[in-house]
Amino acid sequence: MRILLKPIPQSTPRGATPYPIATKIFYLASCKKEVIMLEREEVLKLAKLSRLSIAEEDIPAIKGHLDKMLDHLEALKALDLSNVEPMTAVENGATILREDVPVQGFTLDQAFANAPAVENDHFAIPKVM
């Protein structure tokens, strides 16, 4: 079964480019159609959008993984969340951090002990450009 869908927007409202494969998968899952099955050409298109090269023999396995993801998203869409309050995090408590106590750091000799090169009390690295 092949389902024709409207084109996916290639950018978000603020102009940032979304992750193509995630956008496509979530877009497919949000459609109102009952059954969504990816075809070989769509898997290749997703790979191209994601800048991945896929061996011909790997296409069926990847298609299977993507179909499982779509099935999982369909199951999530079926959940009744009308009584669930929107939230931004799982935990409402504060992040527990260690006590902010000053500690003695390395001396210069200790810091540079394993450095391949040091110049004027700085790590020396090869030029990049």
Q: Identify whether 12 is part of a domain.
A: no
Question: Is residue 44 situated within a structural domain?
Answer: yes
The angle that helices 40-49 and 20-30 make with each other, rounded to 10 degrees, is: 140
Residue from 72, 59, 87 nearest 26 by CA: 72
Q: How confident is the model at residue 87 (pLDDT cuts 50, 70, 90)?
A: confident
Report whether 38 contacts 70 (CB < 8 A): yes
Query: Is residue 47 included in any domain, yes or no?
Result: yes
Q: Among 10-14, 43-47, 100-104, 122-126, which stretch is predicted with the lowest mean pLDDT?
A: 10-14
Q: Decide if 43 is inside a domain.
A: yes
User: Domain range holding 33?
Assistant: 20-77
How many structural domains comprise the chain? 1
Q: pLDDT tens, 40-54?
A: 888 999 889 989 888
Average pLDDT over the chain reads: 77
Residue 13 lies in a domain: no
127, part of any domain: no
Residue whose structure tokens are 């949000």: 30
